[in-house]
Chain A
């Protein structure tokens, strides 16, 4: 493992808030509540979490589509917010993004050529000949026929459209690609195609991935390290193998037990009546406390910090009563 490419320190994003005209405080949603994590060069960091855990908000902040309301995110030592305010071109040449909905991320009135040329023109300032060569390279990289360049997005299936989305992200030759649920809108057979292409590209172009998904098995199959987000905070971070084989946080446990898998009946699932806490009004202490089978009074009183496991120093969990290796 090499040096940290991307450093997220205490990143926080609050939507709304502030005060109304008459000084009344407005409701605020705490989407990301202080997340610290690093992405190392050449790795794939998987981020798992259920809807409302803040994973997409976090992803958007990494590419400058959104700004944190607190904390710092740096890329190679440079503050991302500052780069984004300066126009974001420099940032966009380093970090790119692949969107969840492949068709919605392609302008229906532009040809694939126009879509793929945009980063080449605006980010790299390539001339016509150079663009032509690069386009061919890109289409070949994502395994699409070059004649598709003249077509419009609606003529493509979901899987093809997502490969175009990936080609666009590749166009500017970035170092890091943020993949926001890149396969959740796709059928399983297509999903496998796209995952395999992503894997090839990573080897070929020396990429670093930040892979966001709600699907545990997909994340497990692509990630070197995994971070589990719950309610805007990290519940657990560590090497993928270690997190999936010996989860320490009770929430990770619950996730793994709930995930349906072919040939397996779900084991004990949590009883009903339990829900996500109110994002307008986060509870004190551990956010998972109300659903946690291991919860104690301590969990209500103080918020657990992310601490390394005694056995594996790279495996962190934010829990007062983590599962030991034995469980």
Chain B
């Protein structure tokens, strides 16, 4: 569930540009940086207009005056030149050189990167080998070699700094362009008849531009530092011209007696670079949504629990191992509250498989992940309900208790078996870890058990496979490993979140029959999350259908599939093409599911429902029991006859 998918607002580019600036200004550090750098640039630009002494006129009589001397606000240097004037003129030079070097490096580097990334193949190989050669030099050393040949001088230093920074841009941009060029919209542009040049500059470049700007804004400061460095060494600006670096370098001679001569330009470089870096970081945060502070937060070990609402009844249901009641989970993103789960009841009995079915955004995964506190916080939090495991309220348990129960009483199987296994540890290592997390066992014993587990999920050559890394196994084998891990400590309940969605049909059938067999043998309850009614039929005893964060219907699988009572369930089943019935025209649900930060009053499905009446839109609709084990959240449920129509 992403923020983009949730927001329904239609932003226009003009307003998004404005909001970018506002975002930048909201970042106090970046705004501070912007103010300082703007002031510095203004003063530097106005240098010829300001009433300043000539920066290069020497006055031996007034040499080395301290700061705040009369007529010399910042004092004078060893030749009696006015430091304030030299500082402002020097800043002007440093800024100009840093900016030009950045622009030159950005232009050539980006061009090389774009071409290499888009062309790929041989062009890419040749260009990048060249770049690698340049990068094989320790950064500043190449600049030194270039200056050595061209001779010291400000312009030569500028070229040198620009040249050594070209690879930096080229590499960054190439990576980005390479990824973009493999994207489908580039293929689509080709099929729209666009030429390569047009695609490169019309389709790829606009997507790379933010990265170029980010890279520029984060390198300008560095460039200013480096040119100052060359000048400091006497290889950049030559007397009488001065930039900040050469002022610092000359001041160094009188460091012990008159430190202010070197400290003043030094502090100026620091202020300049610091403000540019602050601004650059701000620009990066605004332009790179991945790094926006909200999205790059680390999820903590357990979902935050801030329950405002508790269900009235807390006595556990007789035959349930896992009994979830009135679960509410919210996501708070940028002032908006997304009610992903709005009061969900789920019950899993011993050895029973409960299917939770719904479309994307229905809250089925979030409900499942909330139970053991695995829904990400921030931004998620559980705000209501209980989850009773053998009668124990999991949301009230301590963190340590939850850690102990995870993998021991309740284990998980996730969707994508490649990303859910750690890529850098062997399968054996990860299995042993799961075993030892809950058992005092020696390494050899645990390994034996791991081997037995792999045999149980029918992986051939289990002893050998223990040493395999996840990427060396096929998708089906990886999911078997995940299941083995879930079985490691004889859990009472397995929460399986779309465990077969990423797999091929033949492999999916294998995994489903494996899960079905294992839960019957071990009496394990399964909470099975899926979007696929076919998969539900294959394994689930009972089903709960979810829509917009609520369960709308629940009951035995066959009954629901043959006689759906909620109009949504009925429509959803009509949408699914069925093997052997190719002639059937598919039903489609018009409209879109509601966004969970702006749920309508009353029934969330009413706007799309053909049976909806005024009443449906008024108040919240409760669950009605229609027969034993069957309940529906609808005031106009379909009867058996209506469903058949």
Contacts and interface: CB of A to CB of B under 8 A. Distances in A.
The answer to A–B direct touch (Cβ < 8 A) is yes
9 contacts: A99-B187, A105-B183, A107-B203, A121-B193, A188-B572, A189-B575, A192-B576, A260-B537, A261-B534
Q: Is the interface of B mostly helix, strand, loop or mixed?
A: helix
A188 B576 contact: yes
Nearest to B584: A221
**Which bracket fits the contact residues of B?**
35 or more
Interface stretch (B51-59, B314-322, B508-516): B508-516
A35 interface: no
B582 A220 contact: yes
A266 B13 contact: no
A122 B192 contact: yes
Q: Which 7 A-B pairs have the closest CB atoms?
A: A260-B534, A122-B193, A258-B509, A105-B184, A50-B504, A118-B192, A192-B575
A116 B193 CA distance: 12
Interface stretch (A24-32, A88-96, A296-304): A88-96
Interface in B1-37: 4-5, 10-11, 13
Interface stretch (A75-83, A149-157, A308-316, A318-326): A149-157
Given A255-B505, A260-B535, A221 B582 contact: yes
A263 interface: yes
B203 to A, nearest CB: 5
Interface in A257-289: 257-266, 269-273, 275-276
Interface in A140-171: 151-152, 154-155, 157, 165, 168-169, 171
Contact of A216 (B193, B206, B579): B579
B478 to A, nearest CB: 12
B360 interface: yes
Interface in A106-125: 106-110, 115, 118-119, 121-123
Contacts of B534: 217, 259-262, 264
B392 interface: no
A167 to B, nearest CB: 12
A261 B577 CA distance: 9
Nearest to B574: A192
A154 B579 contact: no
A217 B458 CA distance: 29
Given A92-B193, A257-B509, A218 B585 contact: no
Interface residues of A, number: 77
A265 B336 CA distance: 43
A260 B508 contact: yes
A245 B185 CA distance: 38
B460 interface: yes
B579 A259 contact: yes
Given A107-B203, A118-B192, A275-B474, A50 B514 contact: no
Given A107-B203, A260-B512, A188 B531 contact: yes
Interface string B535-571: 1111000000000000000000010011000000001
A187 B11 CA distance: 25
A252 to B, nearest CB: 11
A215 B573 CA distance: 16
Given A89-B193, A244-B579, 7 more contacts: A65-B191, A106-B188, A119-B193, A220-B580, A260-B538, A263-B558, A270-B509
B444 to A, nearest CB: 27
Contact of A192 (B459, B514, B587): B587
A271 B5 CA distance: 40
A76 B574 CA distance: 39
Tell me which of A107, A122, A241, A255 has the highest count of chain B C-beta atoms within 10 A of its own C-beta.
Answer: A107
A97 interface: yes
B39 interface: no
B588 interface: yes
B190 interface: yes
Nearest to A117: B192
A195 interface: yes
Contacts of A50: 504-507
